[in-house]
Amino acid sequence: MNIENMRNIIKGFGIILFTLLTLTACETDSATLLTDGVWTFQSMTTDSEESSIISLVSLAQALLTEASMEFQEGGTYIMISPFVENATTGEWELIGEDQLIIDPDDEASSTSRIKTLSKEKLSYTEDFVDGQMNTYMVTTTWTR
C-alpha cells in the first residue's frame, strides 16, 4: 500500500468521524434544548377550513391556556393546565432532529414534525385526517 492510498484512507476516516460527531452533537443539542426548562403554551392553529375542526382546535387552545410542559431528561414529561384537573404525564422521544413523539400515559401517542426548536420557542405540527378523508395540519407553539 503506498502513501497516497494511506492518506486517502485517513481522510475518509476523518470525514466519517466528523460527520458522526456532528450528527450526534446536533441530536444532543436538540434534547438539551427541549429539556432545558419549562415551556408555556402559546397557541394552537390549524390549516383546516372545516368549522368542526376549527372549533375543536379552539377548544383545545382554550383548555391549554396558561398550561406548562416540562420535558425531563430520561424521556418523561409532565403537562399542567389550570383548566384540567390532573396533570398529563407520559414519555417523549426525539427521532432525529425533526420528529417528536409524545406518548401520554392514558392516551394514544402522537408523532409531530418540529418546525422550530430554540431556547425560546418550540413549535411542531401534526397531520390529521377528518371524516371526509381530508388531511389537515395542527401547529402547536410553546415558549419560555
At 3 the pLDDT is 55
Phi and psi of 131, rounded to 5°? Answer: -60, -25
Note the pLDDT of residue 100.
96
Q: What is the pLDDT of residue 4?
A: 54
Please say whether the structural domain 3-143 has been given the CATH code 1.20.140.10: no
The tens place of each residue's pLDDT in the chain, 144 residues long, gives 555 544 555 555 445 544 444 444 444 488 999 999 999 999 999 999 999 999 999 999 999 999 999 999 999 999 999 988 899 999 999 998 899 999 999 889 999 999 999 999 999 999 999 888 889 999 999 999
pLDDT at 97: 85
Nearest of 109, 113, 110, 130 to residue 122 by alpha carbon: 113
Domains of the chain, by residue range, sit at 3-143
